[in-house]
């Protein structure tokens, strides 16, 4: 009978311990995702800004050689991240894909001019900066028109700011909830052993002696949970790298490593600090309060 009871109690303890680890791992995993998004919000914002195109349409008389000279001139400006030339042949192919192969039959000569596509630095992706860019480039005699979707620029800047604030608020709430959930999980585990702590105090055990096994358990609980969370986070990053490799190149490897380390430290620190607090609190609990 005693062996059966011991096995039942043992299984319950193991189940409780595994449940705690899984719960803490999930919370730490969410913290890792939230931190990753928050840290890379600016990089993502810059990515979308720098991939928006300013089109420079040249006069029909402009040749590709003249366009190459103009490209060198524009590249010398500080606001240009990249620039490429769209030849008449390439422009004609793009128009054929949109309008059909016979759309040029109605024209005596090809109406497709040489054009340039410019990607600006993110620091110049604003309404005022775009107006200055249009003025500077449009002053060249080869340029017929400079087009950019200013309404899209304003909407993007406004939405990116809102998204940044929203993400910051979500992360703040998530961090508070994460700390509370982890602390509550550890607290419940230690509270279930309050009778053992009280008995140890009755036989004269010091707090440091009582704390030691609980802190050791909390350390490994936090460490194992953090490693599981880091492993899950690594799988998510690997999946993202396979599917959005180009965008994934924006993220700093040092930042990712830092997040791995922070999750490990956070998991261990929260568990150990909560365990120390609860053991100290339960060490002074009265006999009557044990049953509350």
pLDDT for 231 beyond 90: yes
Instruction: Read off the pLDDT band of 2 (50, 70, 90).
Output: very low
Cβ pair 43, 250 in contact under 8 A: yes
Least confident of 16-20, 193-197, 209-213, 248-252: 248-252
Cβ atoms within 10 Å, residue 237: 18
The pTM of this model reads: 0.62
Q: What is the pLDDT of residue 9?
A: 46
Residues 6+ apart with CB under 8 A from 240: 248
Q: What's the DSSP call for residue 144? A: E
- CA 283-284-286 angle, 5° bins: 115
Q: pLDDT per residue over 73-85, tens digit each?
A: 888 887 888 888 8
pLDDT for 55 beyond 60: yes
Length of the chain: 292
50 vs 92: CA distance, rounded Å: 26
Report how far Cα 291 is from the mean position of its chain's Cα atoms. 45
pLDDT for 215 beyond 50: yes
Structure tokens at 139: 């002053």
Cβ pair 34, 238 in contact under 8 A: no
Q: pLDDT per residue over 135-182, tens digit each?
A: 888 888 888 888 876 666 666 666 766 777 777 777 777 777 767 776
CATH 3.30.70.3040 domain locations along the chain? 53-148
Q: Name the 3-class secondary structure at 147.
A: strand
Class of domain 53-148: alpha beta
Residues 6+ apart with CB under 8 A from 18: none
């Amino acid at each position: 009978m005693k062996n059966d009871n011991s096995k039942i109690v043992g299984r319950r303890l193991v189940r409780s311990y595994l449940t705690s680890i899984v719960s803490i791992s999930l919370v730490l995993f969410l913290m890792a995702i939230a931190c990753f998004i928050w840290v890379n919000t600016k990089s993502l914002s810059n990515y979308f800004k720098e991939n928006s195109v300013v089109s420079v349409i040249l006069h029909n008389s402009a040749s590709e050689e003249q366009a190459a000279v103009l490209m060198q001139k524009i590249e010398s400006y500080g606001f240009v991240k990249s620039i490429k030339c769209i030849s008449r042949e390439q422009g004609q192919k793009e128009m054929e894909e949109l309008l059909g192969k016979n759309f040029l039959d109605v024209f005596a000569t090809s109406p497709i001019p040489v054009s340039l596509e410019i990607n600006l630095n993110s620091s110049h992706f604003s309404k005022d900066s775009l107006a200055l860019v249009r003025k500077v480039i449009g002053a060249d005699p080869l340029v017929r028109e400079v087009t950019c979707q200013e309404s899209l620029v304003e909407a993007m800047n406004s939405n990116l700011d809102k998204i940044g604030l929203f993400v910051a608020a979500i992360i703040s709430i998530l961090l508070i909830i994460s700390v509370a959930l982890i602390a509550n999980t550890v607290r419940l585990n230690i509270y279930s052993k309050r009778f053992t702590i009280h008995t140890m105090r009755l036989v004269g055990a010091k707090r440091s002696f009582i704390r030691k096994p609980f802190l050791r358990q909390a350390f490994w609980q936090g460490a194992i949970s953090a490693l599981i969370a880091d492993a899950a986070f690594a799988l998510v990053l690997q999946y993202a790298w396979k599917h959005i490799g180009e965008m994934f190149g924006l993220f700093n490897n040092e930042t990712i490593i830092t997040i791995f380390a922070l999750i490990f430290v956070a998991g261990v620190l929260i568990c150990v600090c909560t365990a120390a607090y609860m053991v100290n609190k339960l060490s002074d609990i009265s006999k009557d309060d044990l049953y509350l």
